[in-house]
Structure 1
């Protein structure tokens, strides 16, 4: 699809690393591997905010016969851990696998922190980069970084979920804010690997609702003749307070045979309430290459019972990766065919949609509401 506004709004070239939290304790040469997967919200002043994941990587992770990982320590700050090159699989430039372990164990050659960037009300220009509001690791369960913010405003509070990465656990953590810029860490709300926990933009019968997407290394076969594939799926959970969560028993959105989402699914934008129900954009992944092909699809859910799917569009994507957008910075690309949609704001006749493009940059798209009209 072609849209009236579809552009990269922020890239690694827009970041001044003198403000990086890593400079607090290490002075090695680093670069921005990616500035991507932005949470999106409207601020009280009417401007938009994107909360960007900044993956800061070592220029030279391998020196001689050793490879280095970046890690935050509660007492010593940011550290470089060393491993013999012969003891790892370093085929992926973003991370390496430690060999000789009974489980799959990874370390990172980059560390992610979050950068708030204020945009014009339509999201088409940058107003201010809020380096003074950077969100960086502050608890031991964040020793390998803070990733992939999703922001939802409910009543007078902004709820921001993030993925916290550590050797302790791979968890979902919650931050809250009253102004959309200054966030307080509330702590872990899901203590298992769950990359795509997203609050609905509003309560249902007094309860908070979220999309979740738990991951694991083991899945069980679907019955012969099932229309679904085994693997990661989007689930629902509810909570009385936003902190304590009960998964719903019913299955939700699953990878369906005959579609382009054959590898896995995951939540994208915060579901927002429309006249026809809850609108959500999510990603579906087609099995191909190292990470797969990521595309954005959409669904409409019943307003009172979101487990009831009124419409599911999992064949024709709303968004796909657009090589023409990344052409000016193609020398920095390390992935292709990835669009990862992470935010949605109602603008009247259209939606502002925020996405990560190829794990490299932030993309803003204006999508007319007619795209999501039933029967079209």
Structure 2
């Protein structure tokens, strides 16, 4: 969720900015035999009550509604985005721009906006995010000329196509993006294949970043001999161009408890053909650092999670933005020689 606006001073340095997600939750969601959810509609917020005997509350972030015929979830919170300005190295907050909050404003956002990713292409910024509603779980697009004032362009990918990451540059005059369609059914690869069936990081192209067409060749696929422990993969930071190709940071999930352990890994993609994976790091890049969340230990409800969402060029290092434990934002400086 990190970007870098143009510098208007004489220092030659510039600030970074976040589109930081805030999750508003009720202090006592369970009372009077019901669990309560927040919903936006018609310009205001509402509280809905669900009888406890109809739901499963084992996941602290959601509740599952039983007896629906399909997997149906409710949310115990509602998310919105806050632009936050940081120093150039990402280590200190300059300003939190509450006057520019990105909040629900359409029916398809009634349960909130989350998972924002910012890409800079030339002097323009493109931010994808997930919008949540009973109608659809869709990918939406915002645009900005300065990184602070965002315009909602609408839905660009339909139901359950998550983790859309727009490449930070054009390829052959086209916009490219990583996507991840979800579902509960995948078809098997033949015996002996290097690939394993399951969610993969797919690719799409567009002439204008508004209308997207799936690329016929997939992108990063789960391996049949995966990194030990990984059973699921998904996109992380929008790919950024390096002298060796497109650097793609993605997440791998190891089963543990109800949510799993999230870590960050990396791959290099061909500069002219991002469907061709040049290299993938043999070791994980980032994992959760419990010491970072010690000051908010009494608030923690998820652990062992680092979820990378942004990257900018910091000269001799990459400045990487991640979510830590679902409650904190983390900045990590990574030496460029570690990713080649």
- Residue aligning to 1:346: 313
Pick from 305, 323, 336 the counterpart of residue 273 of structure 2: 305
In structure 1, stretches of 5+ residues that fail to align are 1-38
Q: How much does 1:228 deviate? A: 2.8
Note if contact 2:4-2:312 (Cα within 8 Å) is conserved in structure 1: yes
- Residue aligning to 2:10: none
- Residue aligning to 1:22: none
What secondary structure sits across from 1:329 in the alignment? helix
Note if contact 2:59-2:258 (Cα within 8 Å) is conserved in structure 1: no
Note if contact 2:219-2:274 (Cα within 8 Å) is conserved in structure 1: no
- Residue aligning to 1:7: none
Pick from 274, 285, 298 the counterpart of residue 331 of structure 1: 298
Note if contact 1:255-1:261 (Cα within 8 Å) is conserved in structure 2: no
Note if contact 1:333-1:360 (Cα within 8 Å) is conserved in structure 2: yes
Pick from 291, 311, 323 the counterpart of residue 356 of structure 1: 323
Q: CA–CA distance in 1 between the matches of 2:116 and 2:229?
A: 23
Q: How much does 1:261 deviate? A: 6.0
Q: CA–CA distance in 2 between the matches of 1:191 and 1:251?
A: 19
**Where do 4+ consecutive residues of structure 1 move more than 6 Å?**
none
- Residue aligning to 2:2: 40
Q: CA–CA distance in 2 between the matches of 1:236 and 1:138?
A: 29
What secondary structure sits across from 1:273 in the alignment? strand
- Residue aligning to 2:105: 138
Taking only aligned residues, the RMSD between alpha carbons, in angstroms, comes to 1.2
Q: CA–CA distance in 1 between the matches of 2:143 and 2:42?
A: 22
What secondary structure sits across from 1:195 in the alignment? strand
What secondary structure sits across from 1:336 in the alignment? coil
In structure 2, stretches of 5+ residues that fail to align are 8-13
Q: Does 1:70 align with 2:38?
A: yes
- Residue aligning to 2:214: 247
Q: Does 1:102 align with 2:69?
A: yes
Note if contact 1:89-1:99 (Cα within 8 Å) is conserved in structure 2: yes
Pick from 181, 187, 201 the counterpart of residue 214 of structure 1: 181
Note if contact 1:229-1:262 (Cα within 8 Å) is conserved in structure 2: no
Q: CA–CA distance in 2 between the matches of 1:338 and 1:241?
A: 34
What secondary structure sits across from 1:149 in the alignment? strand
Higher RCO, Cα 8 Å, sep 6+: 1
**Cα deviations across residues 170-206 of structure 1 (Å, max 9, x unaligned)?**
0000000001000000000001212210110110111
Q: Does 1:193 align with 2:160?
A: yes
- Residue aligning to 1:119: 86
Q: CA–CA distance in 2 between the matches of 1:222 and 1:164?
A: 32
Q: CA–CA distance in 2 between the matches of 1:231 and 1:187?
A: 29
Q: CA–CA distance in 2 between the matches of 1:106 and 1:118?
A: 34
Pick from 50, 53, 57 the counterpart of residue 21 of structure 2: 53
**Cα deviations across residues 72-121 of structure 1 (Å, max 9, x unaligned)?**
1025x110011111111122222111111000111111000001110001
- Residue aligning to 1:274: 242
Give 1:148-159 correspondences, 5 Å limit: 148-159=115-126
**Cα deviations across residues 137-192 of structure 1 (Å, max 9, x unaligned)?**
00000010000110011122100000000000000000000010000000000012
**Cα deviations across residues 215-256 of structure 1 (Å, max 9, x unaligned)?**
112222332233333211101110011011111111221222
TM-score normalized with structure 2 length: 0.95
Q: How much does 1:284 deviate? A: 1.0
What secondary structure sits across from 1:269 in the alignment? strand
Q: CA–CA distance in 2 between the matches of 1:317 and 1:213?
A: 21
Q: CA–CA distance in 2 between the matches of 1:286 and 1:226?
A: 22
Change in Cα spacing, 1:258 to 1:267, as seen in structure 2 (3 Å) is closer
